[in-house]
Amino acid sequence: MNADLERVIALQRLDSAVDAAKKKLADEPEREKGLDARLEAARQQVAAAKAQLTQNQGARREIEKELALHQGRLSKFREQAMAVKTNQEYHAIQHEIAHAQEEIKTLEDRMLERMLEADDLAAAVKTSEGALTAEQKAVDADRKAMKTEQVALEAAIEQMARERASIVAALPSELLARFELVASRRNGVAVAEAKDGICTICHVRLRPQVFNTVRRNEEIVQCESCQRVLYFVPAPAATQAAT
């Protein structure tokens, strides 16, 4: 393969790798936001579970107040029943006693329901707190991994910058200028593989003579459509022998 062609291929691979690494680094603030959102969601689950438990406790206190009120009325009616003098008064008091007892039973049933609900809500609080603890550990691990990746990416970018400088120093200035011009116009991609007579990036078919020249990899050939430098990857020897 032509030495300059090898160099521009290597240069393109380096530039693409650097671009990918820089994009990953640029995405880190959003990834951090994602981790924060995960923790906040877990905290909200805990807060919601605790709020429901608090609401349950408040409802139980209200029922206790009503229950105490009706129990006081029942005691009062029973005392009054001891002092009645006529059947009419007695039946009226018995009616009040029965009504108070019915109210007390209803409130006791409601209290029992709230107590059973409280057990479920307390379990939900415990579960959500456990989930928050687990999520905190997972997020901490992810943050540690992100930091390790960040250091590795920054080191890789520095290493690739040194490799790029070495390649650039060996390239003819005119070829480097062409490479950078095309890269600036083609989203950073100035080199493309030619396969089956087609530029694999712009997908335009090459003239047979051009493709035959590209197949030899002996000179710099640019796609007539997108202007990218073309190269050809020969089939592996085993494949060629089989065909």
Residue 90 to residue 84: CA distance in whole angstroms: 6
Residue 115, amino acid: M
Joined tokens for residue 167: 């390649």
CA distance 149 to 35: 16
CA angle, 153 then 145 then 42, to 5° = 135
- pTM of the predicted model, to two decimals? 0.70
Say how far apart CA 76 and CA 45 lie, in whole Å: 47
Structural domain boundaries in the chain: 21-170, 174-242
**Residue 58, φ and ψ in degrees, nearest 5:** -65, -40
Query: Positive or negative CA dihedral for 120, 122, 123, 125?
Result: positive
- How far is the first Cα of the chain from the last one, in angstroms, to the nearest whole number? 23
- Measured CA to CA in angstroms, residue 39 lies from 31, 52, 125 at distances of 13, 20, 16
With residue 222 as reference, give the H or E element that holds it. Answer: strand 221-222
Q: How do the pLDDT tens digits run along the chain, 243 residues long?
A: 899 999 999 999 999 999 999 999 999 999 999 999 999 999 999 999 999 999 999 999 999 999 999 999 989 988 888 888 888 888 888 898 899 999 999 999 999 999 999 999 999 999 999 999 999 999 999 999 999 999 999 999 999 999 999 999 999 999 999 999 999 999 999 999 999 999 999 999 999 999 999 999 999 999 999 999 999 999 887 544 454
| C-alpha to C-alpha distance for 32 and 170, rounded to whole angstroms | 41
Evaluate whether 167 touches 42 at the Cβ level (below 8 Å): no
Nearest to residue 110, comparing CAs of 118, 120, 99, 100? 118
CATH number of 21-170: 1.10.287.1700
Give the gyration radius of the chain's Cα atoms: 40
Q: Which of 196, 195, 181, 168 is nearest to 227 (CA)?
A: 181
3-state secondary structure of 174: helix
